[in-house]
Amino acid sequence: MQRPIQSRPELTEGTPVERNAGLNPDAVTPCTATELVYDLRQAGGASHRFYTDVSAFSDRLLDEIDHRAGAAIRAYARHVQTRLNEHPRSLGEYSIELLTLGLALAGYAGAAERTRGAPRSMARMLFQLRRRLPLIKPAADFLRSLITRLFLAPQIDRAPAGDAYSLNRLPSLIRWLQATGEFEHEATRLNNWHSFLCTLPAIEAARSIEAGVNLFHWFEREADRALGGYTRGVRPFLAGPYSRRGCREDQLFCGRQPVEYHLSMVATEIMNRGLRQQFDRKPHRVVLVPTCMRSAKAGGCRARATEMGLVCTACNPACTVNQITRRMRSLGARVYLIPHSTGFSRWLERWQRAPEYGVVAAACMLNILPGGFEMRARGIASQCVPLDYPGCQKHWSTKGISTSLNQDRLVQIVQTGASQPAR
């Protein structure tokens, strides 16, 4: 996992997106292919081929994981259900967790080992404060950006010293992931794996960790072959706009390598399979879409605020949100706009209290895995649809790009009976 060279620690203010509860439609412009960090579409502007490719590769991945670590995954499944009292998940979802463990060890274990306790604790405290006290969020994010640039980020991808597969390495790795604020839910799953591995003899635990790391390296190579065409823009983005940004709160989030996008792609497919039957049993549907999807021609979105979220008022016939709202209405589903990923948890609390609803969440690719983990943890019957490309002015484009998704895929998901058997 090669990381971009860190640029000078200059401070930048970022954008007022979160302050304004989403993108200003007047600020967004149509997208061009050269600006896109990832793009799921093929010639003709459709992303249908992507869903065929990711489904086929997910099947292959699950077979590989079962061959290499099937016994460990089944033992882990029994542990989290009987010892940690967690509701059962599909074996495919547990497989994604093992792959996440391998990614974390391969990419971040060295940084965790070399980050001192004081900066790590300070970063964690600031992340918790910004959640509880929104008024201090700008100041907290400013300090977090400094700590990240000076202490957390510089050691990423450096190999840890000593035994790479030692169980003793996991606690510091989990604390480092929590401190960044970018891996909250991944850290929770890794903590469960640590709990399980502690029940095994040392040599067996080391073999399971080694299997996770080796699987990740296999995945990194094979996913690039199968899905790399959809992430051609990642490395130019890292070498170009990202490298010139300086010190920002989102530097770890935006600095991800192609393999982390690929992991989110297969995680979307596999987690959707695992949750499909539960989703199909819900009598009502709700679709959550990001505000970056609003049309560039809206001239001032007139979305109406309700208790459950922003609702499209059909002010612009060309707006993607308007089109999706009309299609979903014909299927009996409601559509709400969510201002930004940082507010996602707050909106999920409302649907957690409404168990009669199945929730479909549309999100940028890098938000899919943590969002899926969180909805699963909250007991929400959910499905996820990735945006065909990112365009958020806060993270990806200084101009802002109006985003979209595969509406046919969304219709298929919302309709009952389109499930595949979970693996």
φ/ψ region of 285 (left if φ > 0, alpha if ψ in -120 to 50, else beta) reads: beta
CB atoms within 10 A of CB 117: 10
Identity (one letter) of the amino acid at 86?
Answer: E
Q: How far is the CA of 94 from the CAs of 31, 71, 82, 207, 209, in angstroms?
A: 37, 12, 15, 17, 14
Q: Report the chain's C-alpha Rg in angstroms.
A: 21
Sorting pLDDT into bands at 50, 70 and 90, what band is 7? very low
Task: Mention every residue, 6+ apart, whose C-beta is less than 8 A from residue 289.
Answer: 321, 324, 335, 336, 337, 338, 362, 405
Average pLDDT of the segment spanning 61-85? 97
User: What pLDDT, on the 0 to 100 scale, is given for residue 35?
Assistant: 73
**Which residues, in sequence order, are bridge partners of residue 310?**
305, 337
CB atoms within 10 A of CB 70: 14
CA 384 – CA 365 distance, rounded (Å)? 10
**pLDDT, tens digit, 9 for 90 and up, residues 349-366:** 888 999 999 999 999 999
Average pLDDT of the segment spanning 67-84? 97
**pLDDT, tens digit, 9 for 90 and up, residues 207-234:** 999 999 999 999 999 999 999 999 999 9
**pLDDT, tens digit, 9 for 90 and up, residues 363-415:** 999 999 999 999 999 999 999 999 999 988 788 877 778 899 999 999 999 98
CA 422 – CA 417 distance, rounded (Å)? 14
CA 5 – CA 25 distance, rounded (Å)? 33
Walk across the sheet containing 357-363 and list its strands.
Answer: 304-306, 309-311, 333-338, 284-290, 357-363, 382-386
Structure tokens at 225: 């072959």
Average pLDDT score, the chain: 87
Range with the poorest average pLDDT among 24-28, 217-221, 417-421: 24-28
User: What pLDDT, on the 0 to 100 scale, is given for residue 296?
Assistant: 63
With 50 as the cut, is the pLDDT of residue 278 above it?
yes
CA 304 – CA 327 distance, rounded (Å)? 19
User: What pLDDT, on the 0 to 100 scale, is given for residue 347?
Assistant: 77
**pLDDT, tens digit, 9 for 90 and up, residues 100-143:** 999 999 999 999 999 999 999 999 999 999 888 888 988 999 99
**Which residues, in sequence order, are bridge partners of residue 287?**
335, 360
Sorting pLDDT into bands at 50, 70 and 90, what band is 20? very low
CA 320 – CA 360 distance, rounded (Å)? 16
For the whole model, what pTM was predicted?
0.88
With 50 as the cut, is the pLDDT of residue 29 above it?
no
φ/ψ region of 153 (left if φ > 0, alpha if ψ in -120 to 50, else beta) reads: alpha
Which residue bears the tokens 């996008």? 261
Average pLDDT of the segment spanning 241-263? 92
Tell which residue, 114, 89, 402, 105, has the closest CA to residue 276.
89
CA angle centred on 193, ends 190 and 199, rounded to 5°: 150
Which residue bears the tokens 């612009």? 316
CB burial of residue 116 (10 Å; 0-12, 13-18, 19+) = exposed
CA 416 – CA 423 distance, rounded (Å)? 19
Average pLDDT of the segment spanning 297-323? 85
Which has the higher per-residue pLDDT, 348 or 21? Answer: 348
Q: Which domains, and CATH codes, for the chain?
A: 43-263 (no CATH), 272-414 (3.40.50)
Sorting pLDDT into bands at 50, 70 and 90, what band is 28? very low
- Dihedral sign computed on CA atoms, order 363, 340, 372, 153: positive
Average pLDDT of the segment spanning 164-193? 94
- Residues of the chain with pLDDT > 70, as a percent, come to 87
Task: Mention every residue, 6+ apart, whose C-beta is less than 8 A from residue 266.
Answer: 54, 57, 58, 61, 96, 223
CA 335 – CA 14 distance, rounded (Å)? 29
